[in-house]
Structure 1
């Protein structure tokens, strides 16, 4: 594994990070590794979402292809509920 060093961290920032680590029952090193790992995962997730948003992957369905059956199913459900309710 590689080592990463951060220089010139202001003391209040280091102190707050140490406090957050203690609150989680972790060493500062473990806490910072979790933070960095979470950021990498978030960026990977954003990259996937961007690829889908650009239309390179995913569906060829239009919004209407998805919404129309949903509205029809809800209307049928509502009608069946009305038919079953005592008057």
Structure 2
């Protein structure tokens, strides 16, 4: 394993993180390792999603667009089913 060092951390930030660690029953080092690990995992997830988006032809919905599009698809489907009766 490697060691990371962060310089010039404001004391208020350090204290807030230490309080969060204590509240979770963790050491500050344990909390920071968890935070860094989570961010690294998220970066990998975003890379996977980006590759999938490119393979799918570049479709990239903005936040909220997917919900709007799904609602439209559901309305169209409902209209088709209602027309079959």
TM-score bracket for this pair, using the shorter chain length: 0.5 to 0.7
Residue 30, structure 1, aligned to residue 36, structure 2 = no
Question: What TM-score do you get using the length of structure 1 for normalisation?
Answer: 0.65
Count of residue pairs brought into register by the alignment: 67
- Cα deviation, 1:42-77, whole Å, max 9, x if unaligned, reads 0000000000111269xxxxxxxxx6xxx38x939x
Structure 1's unaligned 5+ residue stretches are: 58-66, 80-87
Q: Secondary structure at the match of 1:7?
A: coil
Residue 14, structure 1, aligned to residue 14, structure 2 = yes
Q: Secondary structure at the match of 2:41?
A: helix
RMSD: 2.7
Structure 2's unaligned 5+ residue stretches are: 58-72
In structure 1, C-alpha distance between the alignment counterparts of 2:47 and 2:40, rounded to whole Å: 11
Shift of 1:7: 0.8
Rg larger for: 1
Match of 1:3 in 2: 3
Question: What TM-score do you get using the length of structure 2 for normalisation?
Answer: 0.66
